[in-house]
């Protein structure tokens, strides 16, 4: 079952409400970012919850799918809602996606550099983040870089 594809058949490009879950993976004071294949931007691993999943299950699944890493203990980093959560994709699909962001400092597995959703993965320090951060994720990446008190609630 593909919930989003099924809903799109019913509503076309109209705004779909989703819940996204992502993980800020931190190593030696740096953040892991992935360079997306569908646009020239950098973001954290994550994606949309599937029906019946918990926030943590979705974050772990998406991280494993996109990076081949199994994250250790997850700490709530932030809850993001509001105007910044609206997006329109290049195919004209519109979405409003509330974001549940976790942070992890431990993981296992071998980082896969490229896949269906990413061109490469790289750790960046706070002072050298790429200029082309994903617009839908820029707020929580910058909250991390600026050392915001957690959990961030917006």
3-state secondary structure of 99: strand
- SS3 call for 82: coil
Q: Is 120 a catalytic residue?
A: yes
Other Cβ atoms less than 10 A from the Cβ of 115: the count is 15
Give the Cα separation of 146 and 134 in Å (integer). 17
What span, in angstroms and rounded, lies between the C-alpha atoms of 20 and 85?
A: 10
Give the separation between CA 141 and CA 82, rounded to whole angstroms. Answer: 17
Q: Which of 56, 65, 117, 120 is an active site residue?
A: 120
Torsion from C-alpha of 71, 75, 81, 87, nearest 10 degrees: -20
Active site residues: 120
């Amino acid at each position: 079952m593909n919930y989003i594809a099924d809903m799109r058949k019913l509503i076309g490009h109209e705004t779909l409400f989703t819940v996204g879950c992502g993980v800020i993976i931190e190593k030696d004071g740096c953040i892991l970012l992935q360079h997306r294949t569908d646009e020239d931007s950098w973001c954290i691993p994550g994606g949309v919850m599937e029906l019946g999943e918990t926030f943590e299950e979705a974050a772990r699944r998406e991280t494993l799918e996109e990076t081949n890493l199994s994250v250790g203990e997850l700490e709530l980093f932030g809850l993001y809602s509001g105007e910044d959560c609206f997006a329109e994709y290049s195919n004209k699909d519109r979405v409003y996606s509330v974001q549940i962001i976790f942070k992890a400092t431990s993981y296992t597995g071998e980082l896969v550099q490229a896949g269906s959703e990413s061109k490469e993965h790289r750790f960046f320090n706070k002072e050298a983040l790429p200029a082309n951060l994903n617009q839908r994720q820029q707020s929580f990446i910058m909250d991390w870089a600026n050392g915001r008190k957690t959990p961030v609630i917006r």
